[in-house]
Chain A
Amino acid sequence: MTIKKTPQKKASRKPAKQTAVRKRTPGRRAQNKQAIRNRIVKAALNLFQTKGFDGTTTRAIARKAGIAEGTVFNYFKSKEDIALYFFEQEVGHAVASVRDNPRLRKASLEEKLFALVESQLEYLAPYERFIGAALLHALKPSSPLGPFSHRAMELRHRYLGFVEELIEESIPKQKQNPLAFLAPEVFWIYYLGTLLYWLYDTSEDKQNTLAFLDRSLTIGVALLRKGKP
C-alpha cells in the first residue's frame, strides 16, 4: 500500500458507496487530505502490528506519522476509529476486486466467494497480529469495533449485502434452498471462523487456509441449492 496511490474512494469519513466514485478525480486539496489520512492509517497499523493494539496511543501514531497529535484528531476520533476505517477500506477493496474483475464475470459462486475472502486475507496479511487483537477486541460489547457499534454494523451490512448479491446472480431464487435467506448471516460467522483458522494456520504459506476455503465453499454452496447436495 503506497501512500501516493490514487485513491479509489473519495475522502469521506462516511462509508461511501463504492460504485461510480472512481470516475471523479478528486481535487488537489482532497488528494492532500487523503495522503495524510493514509499516512496516519499506515503508521497506526504499523504500531498495532508491532506494539499491539492496546499498547498503541494516538500520540505514538502521530509521532510515527510525523504529524502533530492534534492533526490526527482532525481525521480520526480514536484509534478504534482508525481501525474501523482500515476495515472499511479492506472490505471496499475486496468487493471491488470481485466486482471489477472481468475474469470473474462468468465464474461460479464458489469461485467468486473464494476470490472475495482471499483478497481480504491478502489485504490483511501484513497485519496479522493486529487482526488477532482486533477480533478479540470486537468481542467486547462496548467496543466500537464490536458487532453492536453502528459503524461496524453498517460495514457488515455492506459486506453481506454484496455476498447476497453474488448468491442472487448465481442461483435464481426458485432454485435456492428454502433456508438460503439465512446464507449471508451464516456467511458472516463462516468468515469469522475463516479468519480464526487463518490466524492459527501454521502451514507453509498458509496453504491449509486455501484448501479449507476451497473445500468449505464447495460444500457450503452445494447446500444453498435446492435438493440434496
Chain B
Amino acid sequence: MTARKNTSIRRAFSMASMGADIAGSYLGYALQRAFLGETKSRQKLKSTHTRAARRMRDEMQALRGTAMKLGQTLSLQTGVLPDETLAELATLQMQAPGMHPSLVRVQIKKSLGREPEEIFKDFTPEPFAAASLGQVHRAVTKEGEFAAVKVQYPGIRDAIRNDVKLFRTISKPAQASGHLPKVAIDELETQFLAETDYQREANNIEFFKRELAPLSFVEVPKLLRKYSAGKVLTMSLMRGQHLDDFLASRPSQKVRNELGTRLFDLFYFQVLKIGTLHADPHWGNYLFQRDGRISLVDFGCVKTLSSATTRYLHDAFLYSGSIHSDDFRQLMETYYSAEGLKLLPVTRRALLKFAQNFYRKVYPPSPEKDYRFDFGDRDFLNAYLSESKNLFRTKGMMPDLIFMCRAEMGLYQTLHRLKAQVPTSQIVRKYLR
C-alpha cells in the first residue's frame, strides 16, 4: 500500500478498510475463543487489541493527516478504543507525506521567491526530520548560521478541512449522544488549522524565546524571519538527540532523574507561570543534549489556558485541606461560573474522584523532605490512562481541564519512558502563588 492518498473519498475508503480489518481481527478472536480456555482467551484478547492498535496506527500513519489525531481524540473522549490502542496512538504525531526535492524546491520558490541555492549558502535537499505537516531541511544561511528550514506540504489546509468534514459525518452518533460535543470538534479543527499557519508559529517561537528565558536549561530556537514566509519557516538549528537515541546511550538513573525533573519543571513553568504550553509534551517535541539541556523544536500547536483556568490550577494544586470540603467545592464552582458554565454534580464527582485517586498521589500536598514520584511505575500509568478516559467522557467537563489532562498524559508518558523519579510537589510549589 502506498503511503500517499488524498481526497475525502480515498480517505473514507481507507478508513472503511481499516474498520474492516479491525473487525476481521476481532472476528478471528471470537472464533478462536471457542477453542481456548479462559486465561488464554484473555491473553489473546490483549494481543488482538495490540494487533488492532498497530494496524490502526500503521493505517493512520499512511493517511498521515488529520485522521489519526481525530482518531486519537475520538477514542479518548468516547472510550471506543482499549488502552493498548490509546498507548499506540499517543505516539503519533501529525505528519504529511514526504516531499521529493523538486516539490521542496517549488514550495521554497513560491514562498521566498527564489531557488534554495540562491537564498542559502548551503541547502540540503534531503530532509533530516519530519515536522508536523511538512519536513525539515538543514541549511546554512548567507550569514553562516546553521538553520532548520521547515517546508510545508502543499494543500494541507484543504486536506484537513476535508478530513474534519468526513469526521463530522462519521462521528454523528457520538455527537448525538453528547459524548463528543460539537465544540470539541470545532476546537480541534481550529487547532489543526492553526498548525498550518507558519506566520503564527513564527510569532510563537519569539514568544517562547522571550518567556522561557528564565529557565537556563531550556533552549528555544531563534526565528530567522528573513528566511521565513508562506509555507517556509526557518529557525536556528537545535542540537540534541531524540528520546529514543538518548535512551539508547543508556543514561544513568541520576541523569534520567535530572532530565525528568527538568521536563516536569518546564511543563509547570509553562502552565503556572505563563499559562501557555508550547506543544503537546510529546517526546518528539524535545531534543536532549549531552549537558542535560533540553531543546524545544515544535511550536505549531501552542495552547493558551484561560485566566480562570490558571487561577483555578493555582488554587487547586496542592490544596492543603480536604477536597471534599465546602471550601474546595466553592473553588470549583467559582471556576465554572467564571467560564459561564454550571458545575453539574456528576462532573464534580468525577473531578473529585480523579483528584482523590490520582492527583493526591502524584502531588501530595505535604510531601516528605526528599519525596520523588516514580514515573517508571507501569501500573500507575495504566491506571491513569483509564481514569482520565473516564474523566474525558464525563458530561460537562471543562475543555481546558480535558486539555490539561491530555497534556499531562503526554508528559507522564515521556517521563515513564525515561523511568524518571521526580520531586513533583516541590516543583509545583515553586510556581504557585
Contacts and interface: CB of A to CB of B under 8 A. Distances in A.
A208 B159 CA distance: 9
A214 B4 contact: yes
B102 A205 contact: no
A107 interface: yes
Most buried by B among A114, A205, A229: A205
Contacts of B125: 103
A103 B158 CA distance: 31
B333 to A, nearest CB: 46
Interface stretch (B76-84, B93-101, B337-345, B352-360): B93-101
B24 interface: no
Given A111-B101, A114-B102, A118-B106, A205 B230 contact: yes
Contact of A108 (B100, B155, B230): B100
A222 interface: yes
B5 interface: yes
User: DSSP class of B's interface residues: helix, strand, loop or mixed?
Assistant: loop
Given A103-B125, A219-B2, A222-B2, A211 B100 contact: no
A150 interface: no
A210 B103 contact: yes
Contact of A207 (B5, B100, B154): B154
A215 B230 contact: no
B2 A207 contact: no
B153 A211 contact: yes
Nearest to A216: B6
A104 B5 CA distance: 24
Contact of A203 (B4, B101, B106, B155): B155
Most buried by A among B97, B110, B155: B155
B376 to A, nearest CB: 43
A211 B101 contact: no
A107 B101 contact: yes
A218 interface: yes
B102 A203 contact: no
Given A103-B125, A114-B102, A214 B2 contact: no
A160 interface: no
Contacts, number: 62
Interface string A212-229: 101100110010000001
B154 A219 contact: no
B100 A110 contact: yes
A214 B99 contact: yes
A114 B103 contact: yes
A222 B159 CA distance: 22
A159 to B, nearest CB: 19
Interface in B94-125: 97, 99-103, 106-107, 110, 125
A171 interface: no
B154 A210 contact: yes
A180 interface: no
A218 to B, nearest CB: 5
Contacts of A111: 100-103
Interface in A171-229: 203, 205, 207-208, 210-212, 214-215, 218-219, 222, 229
Nearest to A108: B100
B322 to A, nearest CB: 56
A133 B71 CA distance: 45
A103 B101 contact: yes
A115 B104 CA distance: 11
Contacts of A222: 2
10 contacts: A103-B125, A203-B155, A207-B155, A207-B158, A210-B107, A210-B154, A211-B156, A214-B99, A214-B100, A219-B2
Given A118-B102, A210-B155, A219-B4, 4 more contacts: A107-B100, A110-B100, A111-B101, A114-B100
Interface of B: 1-2, 4-6, 97, 99-103, 106-107, 110, 125, 153-156, 158-159, 230-231
Which 10 pairs, one residue from A and one from B, show the smallest C-beta to C-beta distance?
A211-B155, A210-B154, A207-B154, A111-B100, A208-B155, A211-B154, A115-B102, A207-B155, A218-B4, A215-B6
